[in-house]
Structure 1
Amino acid sequence: MHHDLLIIGAGPAGLSLARALRASGMRIALIEQAPREALAHPAFDGREIALTQRSAQHLRQLGIWPLLGNEHIAPLRDALVLDGGAGSRQPSMTISHTLSPKPELGFLVANNRIRQAAFEATMLPTDTSGTPPDLHCNSPVTHIHTDAQGATITLANGTTLTANLVIAADSRHSTTRRAMGIPADLHDYGRTMLVCNMTHEQPHRETAWEWFDHGQTLALLPMNPCPVSGQPRSSVVLTLPHQALLPLMELTETEFNTAITRRFAHQLGAMQLSSTRHAYPLVGVWAQRFVAERFAVVGDAAVGMHPVTAHGFNLGLRSVETLAHLLTTARQKGQSIAAPELLRRYQTRHRFTSRGLYLATHALATLYTREEAPARWLRRAMLGAGERFTPFKRAVAASLTGLH
């Protein structure tokens, strides 16, 4: 079966790209190894995604935003960066929404809600936005080949598909990228991230925290109040060496509540678990090339970010936006969507967008996981200078909103 475009991976990036191209007139197929039910009703995975204003606008244009549900969209007005133990949390730096043209820096939405809304928007029956893509679920790709004549992939169930162009959107550990011979630089930060939702006694004031404490990193992402108790609720992120984090996953709920309340130095009062707990190893990925013959990578398959700057998903949407524009323009002009020059333009533009941010995030993550005295001194000095220098904070606010 022949298509104009095959998209491997029906996560948020792959779905968003398919949605963006629905009105292009191209015949598109989505290939996903998970079953359809997992796409239509994705399970909660603990992750809350910080969306920039630019990403929110893009999701509105794609028709995904209204499907999220207002009750699942939490405003993120301000950000607070802290360094050091509870008794000496100075200096700190506050990034206020007043430094940006919007009433909030961004929004918090659960990852599974984004996935579900993207699936619904992409697979809607034929309407003015075009025809939904063909969907091949529950069967991973076992073989891929591209040459000057076209691209061919084979699925585990024996199905063979051909196309003019193949896009990989199958995670930072993309097997498709590897099969196409594209190497990637991987950095294992030696840390694991525990994520869950918790209620707490004190209000979060719609402020995100990033607290670089001694021996641990704590983050707090403000959510809407708990629909059951009405208490303030946040997504809690704790980063520790893997062997130190594992015991926390095995604590009873009561023991876990006590442990996290203590780690947050009781600043939010008593904290209560309100979701399941999930753990993820922290690995950064940079694909050395974003394109090959009749092939390109988007989302985490291109750049997998450390979450410390909360730009991973937003950067993935930028790759989708860039590539969709180039493909749509080529289609409108009757040009090949797999032309080498088009793919080179995509690579150049997304590298320009992502390289500096990736390197800066990597440097920041490395600095704030080191416990040597010089590293502690440097980060305290940086926070102190940043708090006093308003133009710097204004630039950070622009980065957080995505409006720079």
Structure 2
Amino acid sequence: METDIVIVGAGPVGLCLARSLSGSGLRIVVVEQQSLDEIENPKFDGREIALTQRSARIMQQLGLWDRIEPDDRSQLSAAKVFNGSSLNALEIGHELGGHSELGWLVSNYVIRKAAYDALRGGMTENGNVTLLTSETVTGIKTDSTRASVTTGSGLTISASLIVAADNRFSTTRKMMGISAEMRDFGKSMLVCRMTHDEPHHHTAWEWFGYDQTLALLPLNPDPSTNAHRSSVVLTLPGREIADLARLAPEEFRMNIEQRFARRLGSMELVSTRHVYPLVSVYPGRFVGQRFATVGDAAVGMHPVTAHGFNFGLVGVETLSKEILDARLNGLDIAADSVLGRYESRHRRATRPLYLATRFITDVFTNSTAPARLARDVMLRAASLFMPFRKAVAASLTG
């Protein structure tokens, strides 16, 4: 089978990349291990994605934004960071970012659905994208003139460029011999939706306790009861999370309510619970010979700074521009110079915040007395230093 670009992975980033390139005249094949039904009808997985202003703009350009119902987009007006049992918080309001909101919260499965629907529209209109589902990539070969992948069913697909958009543990990246800096935090996060008595005022919480980390992501009211509703994210050692996930709903409700020190009043579980291990990944290279990585395959972020999918969309925008510029100028779309520019730009866009996130997780999830004191001092100082607060707001808005 002959094509121009093979994208491995039909998650939101892989689908967005295919959508961005559709209509360019390039032939694109997307290889995905999930079934077509799983892609067409993704299920709730607990994850709520904090989208920056830049991400919303990219999604509008790709035709995703208008496919998301307004009730599925929750406004993020402010963010608060708490330390220990203190009621004082570092607060970042939307006015510091110069917008009427810092960003929006949209469920991961809703974004996946919008991305697939937008791509399907492009496939119908342009006819240059092929989606191979229930298929895995078992081998990759590249040389100076061509690349190819072999699938589990025995199909060989020849292309100019292979793009890994599978996941942070990317087997495709590993096949290319690209090593990655990987940090296993030894913890897992449990995510679910809960209603509560007290309003959240569309403010996100990041609460660094001394033996746990809690996050509250403000959602629109519960559609059936109109109760205040949020996504709750609890980070604990894996064994403790597993025990918590097995609790009966009433026991779980009481446990979470207590962990939030009843600051939200009575709380009720209104969704399924999902558990994810916490691992961050940053490859030594984003590109190889006729090969590139995007999304989590390029940068797998710790969720504390909420930039994982945002970086994925930035990567899509950057890589697409380099590919389309090369094609417009009659150049090889997988030339070293083309991929090198993508790598350089994406590294500049992601590396500083990746390192800052590592610093935050090292200091703010450390329960030793010196760490507790350091983060208390840092939060108090940050609250008084307006340039820092504006910088954080700029990061949150993208």
TM-score by structure 2 length?
0.99
- Could you tell me which of 130, 139, 157 is aligned with 1:143? 139
SS at match of 1:23: coil
Q: What is the rounded CA distance, in whole Å, between the counterparts of 2:122 and 2:383 in structure 1? A: 51
- 8 Å contact 1:208–1:222 — kept in the other structure? yes
Identity over the aligned pairs, expressed in percent? 51
Q: What is the rounded CA distance, in whole Å, between the counterparts of 2:64 and 2:77 in structure 1? A: 22
* Residue in 2 that maps onto 1:44: 44
SS at match of 2:359: helix
Q: What is the rounded CA distance, in whole Å, between the counterparts of 1:57 and 1:35 in structure 2? A: 30
* Residue in 2 that maps onto 1:197: 193
Q: What is the rounded CA distance, in whole Å, between the counterparts of 1:386 and 1:132 in structure 2? A: 51
* Residue in 1 that maps onto 2:379: 383
- Could you tell me which of 222, 226, 237 is aligned with 1:230? 226
Deviations 1:169-225 (A, max 9, x none): 000000000001000110001111000000001110000000001200000000010
- Following superposition, the deviation at residue 394 of structure 1 comes to 0.7
- 8 Å contact 2:26–2:128 — kept in the other structure? no
Matched, 1:89 2:71: no
SS at match of 1:375: helix
- Could you tell me which of 322, 325, 333 is aligned with 2:321? 325
Matched residue type, 1:195: V
- 8 Å contact 1:122–1:132 — kept in the other structure? no
- 8 Å contact 1:299–1:315 — kept in the other structure? yes
Deviations 1:12-62 (A, max 9, x none): 111110011112110000000000110011111100000001100110000
Matched, 1:112 2:112: no
Matched residue type, 1:34: Q
- 8 Å contact 1:123–1:132 — kept in the other structure? no
SS at match of 1:261: helix
Matched residue type, 1:315: F
* Residue in 1 that maps onto 2:359: 363
* Residue in 1 that maps onto 2:118: 121
SS at match of 1:304: coil
Matches within 5 A, 1:308-323: 308-323=304-319
* Residue in 1 that maps onto 2:299: 303
Matched residue type, 1:38: E
Size of the aligned set, in residue pairs, is: 398
Deviations 1:294-330 (A, max 9, x none): 0000010011000000011101111111000000111
Q: What is the rounded CA distance, in whole Å, between the counterparts of 2:396 and 2:350 in structure 1? A: 14
* Residue in 2 that maps onto 1:63: 63
SS at match of 2:325: helix
- Following superposition, the deviation at residue 125 of structure 1 comes to 5.5
Matched, 1:73 2:70: no
* Residue in 2 that maps onto 1:393: 389
Q: What is the rounded CA distance, in whole Å, between the counterparts of 2:247 and 2:123 in structure 1? A: 49
* Residue in 1 that maps onto 2:12: 12
Any gaps of 5 or more consecutive residues in structure 2? none
Matched residue type, 1:323: L
Any gaps of 5 or more consecutive residues in structure 1? none
Matched residue type, 2:55: S
- Following superposition, the deviation at residue 131 of structure 1 comes to 3.2
